[in-house]
Chains A and B, each alone.
Chain A
Amino acid sequence: MQTCVLIIGAGATGTALARDLSLRGTDCILVEKGDVNAGASGANHGLLHSGARYIVSDPAAAAECHAENRILKKTLPQCIEDTGGLFVAVQGDDEKYIADFPGSCKKCGIPVQPLSPDQARDMEPALSEHVIAAFRVDDAAIDPFKLSLDNLCCAQEHGARLLCRHQVTSFEISGGRIVCTHVTDLKTNKQFRIEAQVVVNAAGAWADIIALRAGAQIRMHYSKGSLMVTQNRISQMVINRLRMPTDGDILVPGGTVSILGTTSERVASPDFIHPEIHEIDTILDQGSAMIPKLAQTRYIRAYCGVRPLPAGSEITNPARDPDDRAVSRGYELIDHQDQPEQVTNFVTITGGKLTTCRLMAEKTADLVCGKLGIKAVCRTRTEPVPDAAEAKWTSPGLAPAAWVQESRCKDPLLCECEMVPESVVKKIADSFAANHQQAGLKAISLRSRIGKGPCQGTFCSMRIMAYLYDQGYMDDRNGTDDLRAFLRERWRGQQPLAWNNGLTRAELMEAMHCGLFCLEL
């Protein structure tokens, strides 16, 4: 295969970059070892930062977040719920931080509106009686899956190609250039070559591994963050704890649920990570100081992601910052031409935040186009991203509304918790079939709400699998393996929350799939 730009990694940055380059008329291929947003891009709060979180620890990142917040609200309104945000302090929180907060926001150009504790509780009745200070900021909720899928669909409309479940195995380097990239199709184990004029490493927490294959050393920290999803939405707005960033200090609404986070723990590798029970306990205990009902509410699942933090940008020494809170959340764009390895057509973009993915893509595309001698300018700053039909089913509450309005309930529901009907599963499976791919349960769940309700896939997994076979989307004997893989993935998020109702659901899942169907044998 040949292309102008090969992008490695289909997360928020890789897909935004594919769109940016495509709009500049540049041909590109995205190679992804898992699926879209398989890493941190799919395992975060879905928060569109106002920037206020970083005013003390990282003022530059704060200002960037603020600017991008404005741009994305205009260009991607379909992915954003403009909830607004609150920063609240409770009794015992650092009074100096509270006093300095509005001034620091203003210094970074971030709008902030002081509120009395009563005003804040009027806006958000779930807030603690012990709130002593509150400010309103421009935070919003953003659907990270729809964001990446919309960017990707736009890029594909302009000719970009995506290869999921394809892994970069090696680079052929000659005369200081990557002349060819070796890629393995992880399904068939077939190997092939991609010749590209420029290769961009947008592999997130795996960027150092990719760089190493081109002989480049990137020093990175892996910072794991765990989060939990509530069964019902707890607040209308994003609620932040008004203090230096630490565990359990943010609650972000997302459609019909809320997401409570997060931790920050240094891990040795971005693979094989789990949300741990002690993290869940910490988040819960901290979060309920701000919003007491978080201690009692029902939770659906936990998940975690790994932030790739560039180690070159440490602000303090590690001994004083054991959980990497002070490491810059800014991005790092590396031109490997200027590095010791001197590879002229290799670029790495890493670090950063979901909120700044467009900016990261723009800066990367500028560098890439410079290398290619392309004069076209960036269009993503002002041009809206089309609302892609293929990407609309990730949004909580959309499928039920469409089911009631469009099909008048005549379309059988395969996922009854989130009310996802046959027609939605069919549309997603068709989009895979159009690319000669087989849609498994995990791929469908990434593109819809299946398995995301209280049953966590216990019932819908079997119904959808049976449907996929009946409609001919699947015909081999891999179905039960796919079922196992899907249930295992759901379990990862259930296991640390398995007390009270969570334990009842876990027992039901095991009773059905082990007790009756013997999937463990």
Chain B
Amino acid sequence: MDNQKADIHCDLMIIGTGMAGMAAALFAAGQDLDIVQAGRTGQLGFASGLIDVLGVYPVARGRIVKDPWPAIADLGRHEPAHPYAKMAIREIQTAIETVLGFFGQAGYPYVYKKNQNMIMPTAAGTVKPTYAAAHTMAHGQAAMAQQEACLLVDFKGLKGFGSRMIAANLARTWPGLRPVTIGFPEAGTELHPEPMARALETARMREKLAENIAPHLGDTASVALPAILGISRTQKVTEELSGLLGVPVFEISTMVPGLAGIRIKEIFQQHLPEMGIKAFFQHSVRRAYRQTGGGWAFEVGDHSHLRLVSARAAVVCSGRFLGGGLHADRSGIMETIFTLPVAQPPDRDSWHHRDLLHAGGHLVNRAGLAVDTSFRPVDDKGRPVWPDLFAAGTILAGQDWMREKSGSGLSIATAYAAVRAARRFLDKT
């Protein structure tokens, strides 16, 4: 396979369209580089509207982190294999601020305090530490912290979000939460968040919804809803509904896949191509070929629409098992595109603990691609496998994003580091 046969040539190929892939494309854009990005965007659907950086450390003790930065410094000292340990804290902060700034510019601002995690209510009636919350959700932090009198609304026909369940289970932390079930205007038997959110982008539906909520307001100081406050016009929907009701309205993050994921997916899909990224959303990378003399060629798409893309370097952000970046059979775990070495436990017996909720988490979640400080995947002796291949996101070894509550932050930070390293490589060659 050599360069002539490729349909498209680029400097940097970004494989993956989850949070890490999207962030990598954002960081690489506007730098005089030809960028191609490919991957199925389903994974972003699992974003919750909350950007975690480090919410729990040490994991085994289940300790909630108040300020993520000293905790990351601590983690870096104790877990040198952790992806955060391979970066300067300043770089992590820059990466996250850049992405949050981008969301703000795109009309979906996030609220955060620089040196403080937020504690947010969830649809399960639990609480969750996070770093930044979408503006639609952010008021939940203060409302719960101040035990504000709050009307918690659910809807007949909307499954998986029960105001009584949330209120009963949060009763100790938040006694002021008052549940109510109402009908959604012009609704059928079964409701789904996406059409509800689209409906609320019209003034007429907001007014009708406000009419349905108003009789229950009483002396409430705020109103909590499932995540339905619009898709692309969340600021308008939130402000106007708050205005109609006379109190702040906010969302509680619902089961995934949910609306928050759809929002950021739409933002990335709209803006990245405008920033010069040649993007093949909904097309996955099927195969990678090593080119003679360095660089890569990739088959992108499916049988009916197969393109060959050549690239001088690549960043792999293909995710874990759910995303398809890793695959496991009974004998072990493999990386699916490049058959890169995967750091993993010695046998299947040690992959998972017998208790789903075991405090230490499951060892299989720490399996993945081990990388050097340039975020290049390395072999078992720590040597980079390829000089021009970089990795970012949850595919990386040494982290447990689900237990650390570090998912989005880790994806964004490592994407930043991997793109910077790729840039240095491209500048040299």
Interfacial residues, chain A to chain B (CB-CB below 8 A): 274, 277-278, 281, 284, 410, 412, 414, 459, 462-463, 465-470, 472, 474-477, 479-480, 483-484, 487-488, 491-492, 495, 498-500, 503-504, 506-521
Asked if A487 contacts B356 (CB within 8 A), the reply is: yes
Asked if A503 contacts B354 (CB within 8 A), the reply is: no
Interface set, chain B 120-161, CB cutoff 8 A to A:
122-129, 154, 157, 159-161
Distance between Cα atoms of A150 and B15 in the complex (Å): 56
Asked if B46 contacts A511 (CB within 8 A), the reply is: yes
Q: Is the interface of A mostly helix, strand, loop or mixed?
A: helix
Asked if A475 contacts B128 (CB within 8 A), the reply is: no
Distance between Cα atoms of A517 and B253 in the complex (Å): 9
Minimum CB–CB distance from A87 to chain B (whole Å) comes to 28
Interface set, chain B 1-54, CB cutoff 8 A to A:
46, 48
* Chain B residue with the shortest CB-CB distance to A285: B330
| Segment at the A interface, from B91-99, B229-237, B321-329 | B321-329
Asked if A507 contacts B321 (CB within 8 A), the reply is: yes
* Chain A residue with the shortest CB-CB distance to B124: A517
Asked if A518 contacts B122 (CB within 8 A), the reply is: yes
Given the contacts A469-B168, A518-B127, A492 and B354 also touching, CB distance less than 8 Å: yes
Interface set, chain B 350-402, CB cutoff 8 A to A:
351-359, 361-362, 364-365, 401-402
Asked if B48 contacts A516 (CB within 8 A), the reply is: yes
A479-B125, A499-B348 are known; give 5 further A-B pairs, CB within 8 A: A277-B348, A462-B255, A467-B162, A483-B124, A513-B356
Asked if A462 contacts B157 (CB within 8 A), the reply is: no
B157: A residues at CB distance < 8 A: 412
* Chain A residue with the shortest CB-CB distance to B162: A466
Q: Is the interface of B mostly helix, strand, loop or mixed?
A: loop
* Chain B residue with the shortest CB-CB distance to A462: B160
Minimum CB–CB distance from B260 to chain A (whole Å) comes to 11
* A-B pairs with beta carbons under 8 Å apart, 17 shown: A410-B189, A412-B159, A412-B190, A465-B165, A466-B164, A477-B168, A480-B126, A483-B124, A484-B357, A498-B352, A500-B329, A503-B321, A509-B356, A511-B322, A514-B357, A516-B255, A519-B124
B80 CB-CB contact with A under 8 Å: no
Asked if B164 contacts A510 (CB within 8 A), the reply is: no
Minimum CB–CB distance from A408 to chain B (whole Å) comes to 11
Distance between Cα atoms of A430 and B391 in the complex (Å): 53
B327: A residues at CB distance < 8 A: 500
* Chain A residue with the shortest CB-CB distance to B56: A521
B248 CB-CB contact with A under 8 Å: no
B320: A residues at CB distance < 8 A: 507
A519: B residues at CB distance < 8 A: 124, 126, 357
Distance between Cα atoms of A98 and B123 in the complex (Å): 59
B128: A residues at CB distance < 8 A: 516-518
B88 CB-CB contact with A under 8 Å: no
Asked if A520 contacts B165 (CB within 8 A), the reply is: no
Given the contacts A469-B165, A476-B168, A500-B328, A517 and B159 also touching, CB distance less than 8 Å: no
A472: B residues at CB distance < 8 A: 164
B171 CB-CB contact with A under 8 Å: yes
Asked if B161 contacts A466 (CB within 8 A), the reply is: yes
Asked if A470 contacts B403 (CB within 8 A), the reply is: no
Asked if B168 contacts A510 (CB within 8 A), the reply is: no
Distance between Cα atoms of A219 and B387 in the complex (Å): 67
A274: B residues at CB distance < 8 A: 354
Asked if B171 contacts A477 (CB within 8 A), the reply is: yes
Asked if B255 contacts A504 (CB within 8 A), the reply is: no
Given the contacts A480-B125, A510-B362, A514-B402, A504 and B64 also touching, CB distance less than 8 Å: no
* Chain B residue with the shortest CB-CB distance to A514: B402
Minimum CB–CB distance from B118 to chain A (whole Å) comes to 13
Distance between Cα atoms of A495 and B402 in the complex (Å): 17
